[in-house]
Amino acid sequence: MGLYDHIVPEIDLPDECRSVARWQTKDTNDQYLSTYVLRKDGTLWRRVWHFETIDGAPESPSAGIDYFQWQSKFRKRVYDEPVQESHTGCIEFYGADESGNWHNVVAFFDDGVCFRVKHTMDTAQ
C-alpha cells in the first residue's frame, strides 16, 4: 500500500471506461496525492500547490481538502501554475465505474506527450 496520485484525463478514453469519475496512479513521480492532468493535446501537467496559514476558520464549512487545521492554525491550499511533465514511458491509471467494474488504462508517453492509450482490464471487483 502507500500513497498515489490522481490523473484527470481530458483526452478521449475508450468507451468502456468513460464512466469512471476518479482515476488513481502509482506510476507518477510525486506519489503524494498530487493531481496530474492529461490534456486533450496529449501533454501531461502536474498541478502544483502550497499551503498558506490563514487567520480564523475557513469561510465555508464544506471547504473540503483545500483547508485543514494544524496546531490551532488553519492552512489553505493555494494553487500555483501547473508544471508540464516530460515523462517517457507508460503511466497506468485505474478506477471503478458506478457499477463497480474496475478499469485500468495505460497511457504511453514520449517526452511528455501521450501517443497511445490502451484499456487493459474490466472486471467486477
Q: What percent of the chain has pLDDT over 90?
A: 49
93 and 106 inside one domain = yes
Question: What is the per-residue pLDDT for 81?
Answer: 92
Question: Could you give the CA distance from residue 110 to residue 92 in angstroms, rounded to a whole number?
Answer: 15
Considering the domain architecture, whether residues 74 and 102 belong to the same structural domain is answered as no
Q: Is residue 42 domain-shared with residue 87, that is, in the same domain?
A: yes
Domain that holds residue 112: 5-47+82-124
- Are 9 and 66 in the same domain? no
Look up residue 101 and give its three cell numbers: 467494474
Report the SS3 class of residue 107.
Answer: strand
Average pLDDT of adjacent 10-residue blocks, the chain of 125 residues: 87 88 91 90 92 70 56 76 94 91 94 92 56
* Placement of cell 490523473 in the chain: 7
**How far apart are the C-alpha atoms of 107 and 13, rounded to whole Å?**
10
**Of residues 93, 49, 105, the one with CA closest to residue 75:** 49
> pTM of the full predicted structure?
0.78
Burial class (CB in 10 A: 0-12, 13-18, 19+), 56: exposed
Do 37 and 98 share a domain, yes or no? yes
Co-location of 112 and 57 in the same domain: no
Number of domains in the chain: 2
34 and 56 belong to one structural domain:
no
Clarify whether residues 43 and 86 are in a common domain. Answer: yes
